[in-house]
Amino acid sequence: ASYFTGDAITLQGSAHDSTGVDLGTHLVWSSNLAGTLGTGAVVTTSLAEGTHTITAAVTDGQGLTGSSQIGVTVSPPPPGNTAPLVAITAPTSGQTLASSALITCAGSASDLEDGDLTAAIAWTSDRDGALGTGGSITHLLSEGTHQLTATATDGGGLTATAAVTVQVVAGVALEFPAVADASVDAGLPATNFGTSPILAVDANLVRNTYLRFDVTGLATRTILGATLRLQVDATAGAESGSGGVLHTITDNSWQENAVTFNNRPAVNGPAVASQGPVALGQTVEFDVGTAVTGDGTYDFAIVNGSADECDYRSREGGPAPRLVLTVARSAPTVTIAAPADGSVFFLHDGITLTAHASQADDGELSSRIRWTSSRDGALGTGATIAASGLSVGLHTVTAAVTDSAGLRGQEQTTLRVRAPNAPPAVVIAGPADGSSVAAGTAVRLAATASDDFDGDLTGRLRWTSNRDGALGPNGTRVLSEGTHTLVAAVTDSDGAVGSARARLTVTPTPPSAARRRTRRTAISRPRSAGSPTATVRSVAGPPLRPRA
C-alpha cells in the first residue's frame, strides 16, 4: 500500500483464538520505523516517509501470540491538490447481516488540504440507493447482496471512495436463559450467593458477577448478532453510573451453589462489551457478537471499575439474564422417502411419492410440499401423492416447499417409466444368410444386440449351431462340414429373449491332383527252379507287366 506523508492511514485487522473468541480489540500495531502505533481492531495513524513493515500482534488468555505483517510505503505528496482518503470500518466486507436489525455503517475520510472530511461521507447501496451522510449512520437494508460505498469529495472537487460487500438475510431471534449465575463479595469472601435474587457488580468493595449459558441447536446456522440481556433491579440504589465491563472467562468449572470470592474464577478473557450509566429497572444489553460463535457453553464475568454499585436481577429473582442470538433463517429441509433414486416403473404402474419437510422456525411443512416432474410438470401437493400417469422416459422428480419467510427448500430423485417389455433386437452382420465357405475356413461370427431398457447387450450375445452346438460370443470359429443354422441370442433383464438366424454351408474340400492318380500294388509270381525272378514295385503311371 502507498500513502503520502501526512495522510491519515487507517489500519484494520481481526484476530480470534482457537475457540473462536474475537481478540480484535487486543491487537497491538507497530512499525519497524515508527515503533508502537496503537491498540485495537482499528487504528488511525500517520507515518513518516519511508518503507514501513507494519505488524499486528495479539496474545490470548493462555499466553500464546499470533501476528501478521504488511508493507506500507510513504512518500512526499505531489504538488497541487490530492484526493481524499476514505476507509470503511463497519461493516466488514463479506459480513452477513440481518434484515430485521439496524445496520451501522462507520468510516473515516481525510484530506491533506482540507483535513477531516468524515462528517461529509455519503453512504450508498447498489440495491437500496442513498443511505445517509456522516461518519456513522444506521439503516435497515433489504435482503440480498449489497455493495456499500462511502464517498468523500474535497474542496478541489477530487473524490475518493471505499466499498464493502455484505449479504443481508432474514434473521431469527433465539433466546438462551442463563443456566448458572452468581455474584461474589470481597466483604464476605467465603459466602455463596448462588440463590440471591441480585447480581452485584462494584469496585468499592469488589463484587463480581459470573454467568453461564448453554447454546444448542444452531448447527451450521450463521450468527448475525448476539447480546447478553440483563435487567437492573428496581430497588433504589440499584442504578449506577456504570453498568460494568463484560469479559469472557476460560474457567467453566465454577458452580452456582458453591462459588465464593475465595474460589472465584479468574477474569482472564478479553473485555467484549461495557455499559455506561444504567437506570432502575432498565433492560441492559451487552454486545457479545464477537464472543459467541456457535453451539457451546459460554462463561462470562461482569466487573465494575466504578465504586457506584450496580445490581442486576438474577435467574432466581427474575427476569433471568438471557443470551439473545440473531441467526440467519435457514431454508426448509426436504427429504424424499419414496421412491428410491433410480427406481424403474412400467407405464401405468401406481407410483407413490412420499417426502417430509420442516423448518427450524416454522416446524412441520410436509403438507405444503409441491411435487413436479421434469417431463410432466406439476404432479400434486402433499406429503404423499399418487402419480400413476407419468409418461414413458426419465423423470427428475422435485419435492419443494416454501416457508413463511419465502425461503425455499427442495430435494430431487430420478425415476424411469418404461413401456411394456419387448425382446432385445439382434442383428447379424456376418456370416451372411445363405452363404457358404470351404471346410477349414475360419468363419467370423458378428452380431449386435440392443434393448429398449437395458441398452447395448452385444457383450451378452451367445451363438449356437444346430450341428456344432454352443459357439460362445462374437468371434471366429472353424465349423464342421455341412449346413449350419447359426443363432445369435441374448436375454434382457426382464427375461425376454431376442435372437437372429443365419444359414451357412461348409462345403467339403475337393481332393488334390496327386491324390486322384491311381496307385498300383506290387505283383510277384512264384518261380520254378532255375527260372528268373521278376518283381514289380508299386509305381504311378501306366500298367507294367513282368518280362518273360
**Residue finishing a domain among 492, 507, 522:** 507
Q: Is 406 left (phi over 0), alpha (psi -120 to 50) or beta?
A: left
pLDDT score for 544: 37
In a domain, 151, yes or no: no
CA contacts within 13 A on the Cβ side of 53: 5
Task: Name the more confident of 421 and 190.
Answer: 190
Residues 67, 71, 76, CA angle at the centre, nearest 5°? 140
pLDDT of residue 512: 60
Flag whether 150 is in a domain.
no
Q: Taking a C-beta distance cutoff of 8 angstroms, is the pair 466, 456 a contact?
A: no
| Residues 319, 197: Cα–Cα separation, whole Å | 10
Give the Cα separation of 356 and 358 in Å (integer). 7
Asked, for residue 520, whether it belongs to a domain, the answer is no
Residues ≥6 apart with Cβ < 8 Å to 548: none
pTM score: 0.58
Alpha helices by DSSP H, 309-431: none
Q: What CATH number did the domain enclosing 34 receive?
A: 2.60.40.1080
Q: Measuring CA to CA, which residue among 319, 265, 267, 272 is closest to residue 293?
A: 272
Shared-domain flag, residues 467 and 405: no
**Residue 538, domain member (yes or no):** no
If asked whether residues 211 and 282 sit together in one domain, one would say yes
Residue 351: inside a domain? yes
Mark whether 405 and 440 lie in a shared domain. no
* Residue 301, domain extent: 173-328
**Residue carrying C-alpha cell 410432466:** 376
pLDDT digits (tens, 9 = 90+) for 40-93: 999 999 999 999 999 999 998 788 999 999 999 999 999 999 999 999 999 999
The residue out of 366, 395, 418 marking a domain boundary is 418
Strand 159-169 to strand 129-133: parallel, antiparallel, or no bridges (unpaired)? unpaired
Whether 384 and 397 map to the same domain: the answer is yes
| Residue 409 phi, psi (nearest 5) | -125, 150
Question: Which of 77, 92, 123 lies at the terminal end of a domain, its last residue?
Answer: 77
pLDDT tens per residue across span 14-25:
898 887 778 888
Instruction: Examine the domain organization and report whether 273 and 378 are in the same domain.
Output: no
The count of domains in the chain is: 4
314 and 377 together in one domain: no
Domain check: are 367 and 491 in the same one? no
Residue 542 and residue 146: Cα distance in Å, rounded? 116
Query: Residue 526 domain-assigned?
Result: no
Statement to judge: residues 210 and 64 lie in one domain: no
CA 460 from chain center: how many Å? 42
Round to the nearest angstrom and report the end-to-end CA distance of the chain.
Answer: 133
Q: Mean pLDDT score of the chain, rounded to an integer?
A: 90
| Domain of residue 378, CATH code | 2.60.40.10
CATH label of the domain that carries residue 248? 2.60.120
Q: Judging by DSSP bridges, how do beta strands 35-39 and 28-31 pair with one another?
A: antiparallel
Radius of gyration of the chain (CA): 46
Contacts of 164 (CB under 8 A, 6+ apart): 88, 91, 92, 93, 94, 95, 147, 148
Give the integer Cα–Cα distance in Å for 63 and 365. Answer: 50
Quick one: CA dihedral 73, 77, 78, 82, positive or negative?
A: positive
Please give the Cα distance from 292 to 246 (Å, whole number).
13
Residue 324 domain flag: yes
Asked if residue 37 belongs to a domain, the reply is: yes
pLDDT of residue 444: 96
Per-residue confidence (pLDDT) for residue 505, from 0 to 100? 96
Which pLDDT score is estimated for 59? 92
CA dist., res. 298 & res. 323, Å (int) = 10
Q: For the ranges 122-126, 140-144, 167-171, 211-215, which has the lowest average pLDDT?
A: 167-171
Could you tell me if 381 and 433 lie in one domain?
Answer: no
526 has pLDDT over 70: no
DSSP state of 514: H
Tell me the per-residue pLDDT of 351-378, one tens digit each, with 9 for 90 and over: 999 999 999 888 999 999 999 999 999 9
Q: Cα angle at 473 between 469 and 475, to 5 degrees?
A: 100
Q: Can you give the length of the chain in residues?
A: 548
Instruction: Return the bridge partners of 431, or none.
Output: none
- Split at pLDDT 50, 70, 90, the class of 170 is confident
Give Cβ neighbours of residue 255 (< 8 Å, ≥ 6 apart).
Answer: 180, 194
- Note if the bond before 526 is cis, omega within 30 degrees: no
Three cell numbers written together for 477: 470359429
| 321 lies in the same domain as 356 | no
Alpha-carbon distance 95 to 114, whole Å? 32
Specify the pLDDT at position 16: 86
CA quadruple 538, 543, 547, 548: dihedral sign: positive
Cell of 457: 447387450
Residue 374 region by backbone torsions, left for phi larger than 0, else alpha for psi between -120 and 50, else beta? alpha
Statement to judge: residues 310 and 360 lie in one domain? no
Are 317 and 228 contained in the same domain? Answer: yes
All 3 cell numbers of residue 472? 460362445
Average pLDDT over every residue of 533-544 = 38
pLDDT, one tens digit per residue, over 212-266 is 999 998 888 889 989 999 999 999 999 999 999 999 999 999 999 999 999 999 9
The pLDDT of 398-404, averaged and rounded, is: 94
Q: Are 463 and 449 in contact (CB under 8 A)?
A: no
pLDDT of residue 202: 94
Closest by CA to 493, choosing from 410, 423, 437, is 423
